[in-house]
Structure 1
Amino acid sequence: MPLPQPEGWEDRFLALERKVNELHTMITNRGGVTTASAGLILPSRSTPDTPASGGHLYGQSGQPWWKASSGSTFMLIPPTPEDPLQTPVTTLPGLTTPNAWPATYNPATGELVQDDLQLHRDKINAIINSLTR
């Protein structure tokens, strides 16, 4: 059954206005343009030029990279964390206690040990506080 045709120019104008509104609704409520259900392939390439705005996603040597409009580049894979069992810490940063103890009692060495203990107490409390928030 054919659709009824508008009679005059006012009806035609109203029909056209309705059609424009329908098309506007379809465009603004449209889903994503691309899908990556089968995976996204980024071929390796050289670092692209800096974009005017936003950023540029690209692949280089099999790794995903991002180049921001600020000119900064970021690899999108975090570095592998160090294994504490493979790389043990021999000295902690910030320690003031000497590695070789004096042969006789020295009050200055005792104060250095006390300072180191206070430093570690503060660091441990900061870690505990950050984990309990």
Structure 2
Amino acid sequence: MNPDEFGINQTRIIQQLERRIADLEAQVRQEKGTPIVQASQAFRLPPVSTPAAPASGAYLYATSGGEARWRSSTGADYSLVHQQGVAVPNATFSLFNPPASYSQAQIQTYTDTLESLRISYQGLLASLRGGGIIAT
């Protein structure tokens, strides 16, 4: 548009601008946005030192070693890399049909089985706690 034309054709120019704005508004309403769960490229986190806790929300950052971490407003700092817990031994036990009466050997077998289960249970708890899966 030539600036000199504005004085001569003001009404026509304004009408054309109004039509173009209306067309653009219609296009914007029809446009479907890109879903937030999809990206066209990888999201790069440059390595930084551990940030101070934010006033609210959380920080997502990467260490110099490339480990992704999460720093919450409570000051808690979490690794986003799964930490494997310690190995837990398999419990060794077998189920018995209850006899009419118990011998000392059977009582000892049941005691040993319960002790094996207790040790496995404690190992499982230690592994889950050590891996940050459950609280202590």
What is the TM-score with the length of structure 2 in the denominator?
Answer: 0.42
The structure, 1 or 2, with the larger RCO (C-alpha pairs under 8 Å, 6+ apart) is 2
